[in-house]
Structures are given as C-alpha cells and as structure tokens.
C-alpha cells in the first residue's frame, strides 16, 4: 500500500501528514511534488495544509492548476481516495472536485486552537471508522475556513449525507455555513476538511481522534475495493 | 478585471472596513466590499476578442464563481 502526500510550494503540514500516515497505516508514505504529473502509483492521496503559493489570488487558486492536480483529478474521478486537509480542502474546492468555497473567517482572525467536532455522515470510505454523532477533539489552524455554498448546494449536501464533520457549540470558529467543517463528494471518495486530523494521532499531543480517518482508508484499500 | 465578493455572501473584510470608517466619523455608509483589481496588457485582435479572453480568465482562475463576481474594462 502506497500513500502519497503532495507538497506544493508553501505546504507546511506535509511532514505532519506523512508522519501521521506512517504512524497509523501499515504501508509506504511518499511525498509527491506538485510540479510532477505523477502519483507514483499511490493508492490514496493527501493534499496537506499550508499556504500554497502564499495564498496569492485566493487560497488554493494557484495550486489547483499545478501539473499534479490533473493527475489528482483523474485519480479522484476514477474513484481513488483523495483527502484535502485545510489548504488541501481549499484546493479541492478551487479545483471543483468538491462543491462550495472557503472564504476569510468571519472574525477576520486566524483561528488556531483545538475544537470539538461532531461526526455526521459515516457512509463514505473516509468516515467508516467513526460513529455518527461521535464527538472528536481536533485542532484547527486557518484564516480562510469559512465554508460557503448556495442554499441548494447546502441542502443537497445535507440530504445526500455528505456533511462529514460539523463544528460543535453555539458558533463555528470561522462562520461556516451550517457549521460545516468537512464534506465528501458524491461518490464519497474525496474528502475535504478544515480541521487537522494529522495533528491528532498521538496521545502525547492531546488527541488521537484523527486516527480512525487514516485507518478507514487503510481498511478500504486492504479490502481491495480501491482502484 | 475587478473582482468583488458575490452579492449576498458574507464579506467580513467589508464589514470590518465599514466599522473602521464609522469610527473615523464617516457616516451614512453601508454595503462596503473589498475586492481586488487585476490589470494586464493583452495582445488581441479586437476589443471583443480581448473581452472574451478576459472573461475566460476570470471564469477559470481570476475569480471564484462560487464566492465572487467580476467586471471587465477594456482600454486600447
């Protein structure tokens, strides 16, 4: 099993993501360079957090035209598991692989803290190791994490069980529509989320609530129902 | 190309600027929006051609159709 983590210029969670894969999944974790249109036979791909291209134009807007993104798109369209975390979520939205977009936090502040998330739909391959309604503690660290989409899209996400995670509490940390923290695509193989599960895989760092996400893709690949 | 937050979409930057203008004593202000201006020189066969290509650039990269609206001005 080979798991690829894409490094864009300005990615800064790529090492954390690689480390989390190595800690949680029995397999090989490799870096993929944004400028190379080659997934090197990866069985699953992570787009990590950071500030690709300095967030120039819009967060994720430049990264999504990187050579590797054409390969990621083809892989995703063929049912390959793809997860975008934080900046990776922004890139997936910019690429049109997930609906909606992420704009500046309502507070205008960079939000960096631990938050409580509620697990919503668990039908997708990424969510299979969570229980619906389960409460997780996972860190966030973003300035542009306010999820927006038109009402029809939001309704469809809810009715088709594609909201993966929601922020808990009275107000979301960034003003996201319907407190949405993470969503999946229609086929369930592409996940985007603003919180950082790769920073929640070690009890020493305060939480292991991110582990099931990595184990879920491992189970999926082991079951041979991947590509 | 002038790119602005889509009408009806939360514009926290615009709201913050509106508040700051208010605290400087400027009154009667509403609907403040902060966007961006992109200028470029383009070799094109005609003004219509330039506009068409600029529109394609906005749709595909310079503006996000989910969150932003754009306007184009062509000068030759």
- The confidence score (pLDDT) of residue A226 equals 44
Look at residue A227 and tell me if it is in a domain.
Answer: no
What is the interface size between A and B, counted as CB pairs within 8 Å?
A: 38
In a domain, A181, yes or no: yes
Residues in B closer than 8 angstroms to A146, CB to CB, are: 10, 12
| Cα gap A54→A57, rounded to integer Å | 9
The answer to whether residue A43 sits within a structural domain is yes
Q: Is residue A18 part of a domain?
A: yes
- Say whether pLDDT at B14 is over 80: yes
Question: Which CATH number do you get for residue A103?
Answer: 3.40.50.880
- Are A54 and A11 contacting, i.e. CB atoms less than 8 angstroms apart? no
User: Backbone phi, then psi, for A179, in 5-degree steps?
Assistant: 55, 30
pTM (two decimals): 0.93
Question: Do residues A118 and A166 lie in contact, with contact meaning Cβ atoms separated by under 8 Å?
Answer: yes
- CA geometry: angle A75, A81, A84, nearest 5 deg: 95
- A7 Cβ contact list (under 8 Å, min separation 6): A14, A31, A32, A33, A34, A48
Domain boundaries, chain B: 2-71
Question: In terms of DSSP bridges, do strands B2-5 and B68-71 run parallel, antiparallel, or are they unpaired?
Answer: antiparallel
- Residue A163 CA to residue A165 CA, distance in Å, equals 6
Q: In what order do the strands lie in the sheet with B68-71?
A: B36-37, B2-5, B68-71
Query: Could you tell me the two tokens for A171?
Result: 């107000």
Q: Is CATH 3.30.1280.10 what the domain over B2-71 is classified as, yes or no?
A: yes
Contact B66 A148 (CB under 8 A): yes
Catalytic annotation present for A151:
no
- Distance from C-alpha of A124 to C-alpha of A154, rounded to nearest angstrom: 18
Which pLDDT tens digits describe chain A residue by residue (227 residues)? 999 999 999 999 999 999 999 999 988 999 999 999 999 999 999 999 999 999 999 999 999 999 999 999 999 999 999 999 999 999 999 999 999 999 999 998 999 999 999 999 999 999 999 999 999 999 999 999 999 999 999 999 999 999 999 999 867 899 999 999 999 999 999 999 999 999 999 999 899 999 999 999 999 999 974 44
Distance from CA of A64 to the nearest CA of B (A): 10
Nearest CA in chain B to A108: B12
Does the ipTM exceed 0.90?
no
Taking contacts as CB-CB distances below 8 angstroms, the residues of chain B near A65 are 61
| Chain A residues within an 8 Å CB radius of B37 | none
Task: Give the residues across from A140 on adjacent strands.
Answer: A113
* pLDDT, mean of residues B26-43: 94
Query: Could you tell me the two tokens for B22?
Result: 């208010």
**Interface contact A58, partner B, CB < 8 A:** yes
Structurally, chain A folds into a number of domains equal to 1
């Amino acid at each position: 099993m080979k798991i690829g983590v894409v490094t864009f210029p300005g990615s800064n969670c790529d090492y954390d993501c690689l480390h989390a894969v190595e800690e949680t999944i029995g397999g090989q974790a490799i870096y993929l360079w944004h400028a190379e249109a080659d997934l090197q036979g990866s069985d699953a791909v992570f787009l990590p957090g950071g500030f690709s291209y300095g967030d120039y134009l819009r967060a994720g807007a430049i990264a999504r035209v990187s050579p590797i993104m054409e390969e990621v798109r083809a892989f995703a369209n063929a049912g390959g598991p793809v997860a975008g975390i934080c900046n990776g979520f922004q890139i997936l939205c910019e690429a049109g692989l997930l609906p909606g977009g992420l704009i500046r936090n309502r507070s205008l502040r960079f939000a960096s803290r631990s938050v409580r998330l509620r697990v919503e739909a668990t039908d997708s391959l990424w969510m299979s190791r969570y229980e619906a309604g389960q409460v997780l503690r996972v860190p966030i660290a973003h300035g542009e994490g306010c999820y927006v989409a038109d009402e029809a899209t939001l309704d469809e996400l809810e009715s088709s069980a594609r909201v993966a995670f929601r922020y808990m509490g009275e107000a979301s940390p960034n003003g996201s529509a319907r407190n949405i923290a993470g969503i999946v695509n229609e086929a369930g193989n592409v996940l985007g989320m603003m919180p950082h599960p790769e920073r929640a895989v070690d009890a020493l760092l305060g939480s292991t609530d991110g582990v099931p996400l990595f184990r879920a893709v491992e189970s999926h690949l082991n079951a041979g129902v991947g590509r | 190309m002038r790119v602005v937050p889509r009408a009806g979409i939360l514009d926290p930057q615009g709201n913050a600027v509106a508040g700051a203008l208010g605290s400087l004593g400027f009154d009667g202000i509403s609907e403040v929006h902060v966007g961006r201006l992109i200028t470029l020189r383009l070799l094109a066969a005609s003004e219509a051609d330039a506009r068409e290509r600029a529109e394609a650039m906005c749709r595909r990269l310079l503006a996000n159709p989910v969150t932003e609206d754009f306007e184009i001005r062509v000068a030759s």
